[in-house]
Amino acid sequence: MAERDGFGKRFREFRRRAQLTQRQLAQKLDLDYTYISKIEGGAVPPPPRERIEAAATVFRLTQAERDGLLILAQELPADVEQWIVSEPRALLFYRSLTRHSASDQAALLKEAIRKLEQGRKKSGHSRRD
């Protein structure tokens, strides 16, 4: 239930930041307002990814905020899931990481990200290019 509470609390923060009531959000998402209340209170599990994505759009979340909300719901962002499904080496990379201790995994990921960022800067390309 802790993950429900964490998701619900964050969901409520984003709704309030968007200056929406539960009823207004429910109307925008075509949901019953009592369901919004139950989500925020942790009384029900987080909604499916598609509903979270729709709410994130209404909330005008950044990509990092959207990803964070999905992770709280124990969902993968759709683009990450698609990459893993379409790129067999992505799954191989994950499996090879899991053979290491948690602290080694963190260090290996940090180093891989550093190298990727260096390569991106050297080439002058950004992800949006």
All structural domains of the chain with their residue ranges: 2-77, 87-123
For the segment 68-120, what is each residue's pLDDT rounded down to a tens digit?
A: 999 999 999 999 999 989 998 998 998 999 999 999 999 999 999 999 998 87
For the segment 19-55, what is each residue's pLDDT rounded down to a tens digit?
A: 999 999 999 999 999 999 999 999 999 999 999 999 9
CA dihedral defined by 56, 47, 33, 27, rounded to 10 degrees? Answer: 50
Q: Are 51 and 75 in contact (CB under 8 A)?
A: no
Determine the distance from the C-alpha atom of residue 101 to the mean position of all C-alpha atoms in its chain, rounded to a whole number: 24
Q: What is the pTM of this model?
A: 0.77
Assign domain 2-77 one CATH number from 1.10.1760.20, 1.10.10.60, 1.10.260.40, 3.40.50.300. 1.10.260.40
Question: CA 30, CA 52: separation in Å to the nearest integer?
Answer: 13
Question: CA 32, CA 13: separation in Å to the nearest integer?
Answer: 19
